[in-house]
Structure 1
C-alpha cells in the first residue's frame, strides 16, 4: 500500500488548557500569572473560551471551561483547507469525533488524543526576546503499545521533522521557529491505554521558576535531573524543563 502523501500545511498551532467549569477562573488566573500574559477575548455563550495574550507577538495559548469531563489539554492546528486536512488525518488513522460548521473538525489520534483542525485566521510570529521561561511544549504521554503509531501519526500529520531525544523514551516533532511550540512524545511504562497530554515550560532557571510557581499556588509532585513535575491550583499536571526559552531550532 502506498503511504499517504503530505497533507495541507500547518499554518499555526494552539495549545488549549481545558478546565472544568467551576475551577476555570482559578486556573486561568494562575496561568496568566505564571506566564506573564493576560486573559483576553472572553467568548462563547457563557464566556467559556478565552485567550492568553502575550506582551507582544501572536498568541498561541487558549483557555476553555468544560462542562463535562476532567479537562486536560488538546491541540488546534490551523490550516487553509480544513476538509482536506481532516481527510488526510483520517487516512493516517485518526478518528473524526465531531465538527463545528466547516471551520473545525475534531479528531482523535490513533491512540486517542483529542485535537482539532481549524481554519487559519492569519496568526503568526511568536516573540521570545527577554523571556526567562515560556510555555512552549505539549507532551503526549504514550503507552508502549501506542508508541510507534503515535510517532508516525504526528510526524505525518504535521509534516514537521521528527527527532529522537538524547533522553531514552522521548522523541519530538518540531517546525522550529515557525511554530510557537513543539510536540514531545514520552513513552510511558504502562503497556496500553489512551494517550494523554500535558504542557511544559522551558526555563532558564528551573529552581527559581519552581519557587515562583509554588508562590502562585502550584504544588511540586516530583523533581528529576532535567525537569520538575508540578500541579497547578486545580490539579493540572505540568512540567518545568531545563531548556532555553530563546527562539532556536528545537
Structure 2
C-alpha cells in the first residue's frame, strides 16, 4: 500500500519549540496554522499554494528530531503490513505510530494531500523548496532499513552519482517529499533523519538563511550543511527545486 502523500514533521523539544517554529516559518515563508491536539502540540506550516507537507510538533520529552507521516487510504492495513516487514507498532490514536527496524519513528495517517506546492522565489530571483528527508542509517542496519523503506513505500531504490553512500528512492510524480537513504560510517545506533532543501542558487540561499539565523557548518561540492538557531542540522543542495534532481 504505497503512500499517496508524505508529510515531514519537525519535532521540537519543549524548551525550544516556540523559537524553532518561528525560525522554520520564517525560513520557509509559510504561515503557522492554529495549534491542535490534546495539548496543542501540533501545527502546520501552511504553504502559499498547494497542500501542506510540513508540520511541527512539541514533544513531551526527548531531543529535536524528524518523523514522517505516510498518508494511505487504510492506516490500519498499512500498519499491519509494515509490522510484517519489520516495523514495531507503538500506538494507535486513529493515526498509527510505528518505528522502523532501525528505530525511526513514522506514522500512518489518512488525511488528504494531492497538490505539491511550488518552489518559493526570493528577492534576487533564486528559488528553493524543502523537498527531501534524508534517513541517516548506521552501516550495520543499512541493508535491512533500506529494504524496509523501499517495500513500505513501494518506491524503487536508485544509486547516486554523488556518493555510493547515497541511495534515493524514486518518488512518483507530484509527491512533495523525496526520500534519500544515506549509509553512515557510524557502525551502530538508531536511524535518524534531517531535512534537505533544493535550490537553484546555493550561495544566495545560504546567505538568505544565514540572515535569518542559520549557521554554516560545512560546504561541499553539491551541498552545504547548516544548523538552525536551535542547532538542528539540515542541508541545502544543488538539486533542481522543480524536479528534485541535480542539473
For the criterion TM > 0.5, the same-fold answer is yes
Change in CA separation of 1:53 and 1:176 when aligned onto 2, cut-off 3 Å: same
- Give the Cα–Cα distance (whole angstroms) in 2 for the partners of residues 44 and 205 of structure 1: 38
Q: Mind listing any 5+ residue stretches in structure 2 that lack a counterpart? A: 122-126
Corresponding residue number in structure 2 for 1:214 = 210
- Give the Cα–Cα distance (whole angstroms) in 1 for the partners of residues 192 and 120 of structure 2: 32
- Which of 141, 145, 149 aligns to 1:150? It is 145
Deviation at 1:129, TM superposition (A): 5.6
Q: Secondary structure at the match of 2:25?
A: helix
Q: Does 1:113 align with 2:75?
A: no
Where does 1:81-230 land on structure 2 (aligned, <5 Å)?
A: 81-100=74-93, 103-119=94-110, 121-128=111-118, 131=121, 132-166=127-161, 167-230=163-226
Q: How many residues align?
A: 240
Whether the 8 Å contact between 1:141 and 1:197 is mirrored in structure 2 is yes
CA RMSD of aligned residues (A): 1.5
Q: Secondary structure at the match of 1:177?
A: coil
Deviation at 1:141, TM superposition (A): 0.6
Deviations for 1:36-57, whole angstroms, at most 9, x for unmatched residues? 1111131124422110111111
- Give the Cα–Cα distance (whole angstroms) in 1 for the partners of residues 81 and 172 of structure 2: 23
- Give the Cα–Cα distance (whole angstroms) in 2 for the partners of residues 185 and 248 of structure 1: 15
Deviation at 1:122, TM superposition (A): 2.2
- Give the Cα–Cα distance (whole angstroms) in 1 for the partners of residues 96 and 120 of structure 2: 36
What's the TM-score once normalised by structure 2's chain length?
0.93
- Give the Cα–Cα distance (whole angstroms) in 1 for the partners of residues 244 and 38 of structure 2: 39
- Give the Cα–Cα distance (whole angstroms) in 1 for the partners of residues 151 and 33 of structure 2: 33
Change in CA separation of 1:11 and 1:105 when aligned onto 2, cut-off 3 Å: same
Deviation at 1:231, TM superposition (A): 0.8
Q: Does 1:237 align with 2:233?
A: yes
- Which of 28, 50, 53 aligns to 1:57? It is 50
Corresponding residue number in structure 2 for 1:5 = none
